[in-house]
Structure 1
């Protein structure tokens, strides 16, 4: 069986945007779409057990029915299945991820505090899923550009491979960003700074070379900005249809499930963000 694109829905606006993105991705890849809505504890204001179960079932089934109808109208030839499993949303979605090609989620669902930009469910799924996870906060189209951040780490090399695949699939330009920070003051351009910039550009070209051979149809634009990776990639995301990063880079503690750059971009990306880690 072909691994599906799995999207989590909960009736929120962000999950609707995630649904739209996931359906388009499934159509592009000719993979089935699986819509998952996790059943939460019944509404507390019901006066009886029967009432609580009925209210939850009616609303939950409505969420899935509406999501399915939206997809079928936009993509009538797409194979669509749905599920309403009970339990902890993060745990359920992590189980779904074991047999999925990609997991797609909205940045924040119905629960949580309004001041939080990223929901706890999305954060847990991104931090512990082996395959690609796409978090949709802002849904963007028409830029004709995929952006990928890379630093030479194993995770970012996996992100590069995924980025070339996405650019080829979508027939769009790939912008490869290798951001670095000069240790000295930025008030002047020194010979040492020029030399470092050249070294970083050469490194980027080496990382890209084998993938360029594999995907000759993809137009690649290289960028080696002397600035924070978070700033560089957040800025680039404003003109992109998809931003792609590895779940961890070269820095930080290897015991952590999610690196600081990917964690910040989950909040600040202006387009859908794909977080990639090397498959075992």
Structure 2
């Protein structure tokens, strides 16, 4: 068996409450592996049937930039020795994370719980990653 060691941990990040523990987990893993942490934020443009204005797209990008900047700041405070890179893209989040995983060792995402019986289910992105990502995936619950 060949052991992969690309020195990259990928974090799918959306700024939600469940993303915070996933960020901490990914930082610890990156530190233990002496790896770079790549934080990926992707958004899917809603289909209103008539296209999106440039200002709406700019709002999605601005939100992503803000969330990524906050995550990088938090990472630098908590784990200053971990090198952090960010990726901001439009498109399906799971697909964008899988693209980044091509040369990585681990993918980390948070799981959105819904309470009661529904909390046993994964969120759609984590579910897609668990079933389709070519490398190990850790789903972190808060």
TMscore range, shorter length: 0.7 to 0.9
TM-score, reference length from structure 1: 0.44
Matches within 5 A, 1:180-199: none
> Are the equivalent residues in 2 in contact too, given 1:105–1:122 (CA < 8 A)?
yes
Alpha-carbon distance in 1 for matches of 2:127, 2:59: 29
State the number of aligned residues: 131
> Are the equivalent residues in 1 in contact too, given 2:7–2:34 (CA < 8 A)?
no
Instruction: Give CA deviations for 1:27-48 in whole Å, capped at 9, x if unaligned.
Output: 111111100001221697xxx7
Match of 1:13 among 14, 17, 33: 17
Q: Which runs of 5 or more structure 2 residues have no equivalent in the other structure?
A: none
Aligned-residue offset at 1:70: 0.5
TM-score, reference length from structure 2: 0.83
Q: Does 1:77 align with 2:72?
A: no
Q: Which runs of 4+ in 1 moved over 4 A?
A: none
Alpha-carbon distance in 1 for matches of 2:92, 2:103: 18
Match of 1:137 among 134, 138, 141: 141
Aligned-residue offset at 1:130: 2.5
Alpha-carbon distance in 1 for matches of 2:61, 2:124: 24
Alpha-carbon distance in 1 for matches of 2:6, 2:44: 29
Whose strand proportion is higher, 1 or 2?
A: 2
Alpha-carbon RMSD: 2.2
Match of 1:127 among 118, 122, 131: 131
Q: Which runs of 5 or more structure 1 residues have no equivalent in the other structure?
A: 139-280
Instruction: Give CA deviations for 1:174-220 in whole Å, capped at 9, x if unaligned.
Output: xxxxxxxxxxxxxxxxxxxxxxxxxxxxxxxxxxxxxxxxxxxxxxx
SS at match of 2:89: coil
Structure 1 residue aligned with 2:26: 22
Q: For CA contacts below 8 A with separation 6 or more, give which structure has more relative contact order.
A: 2
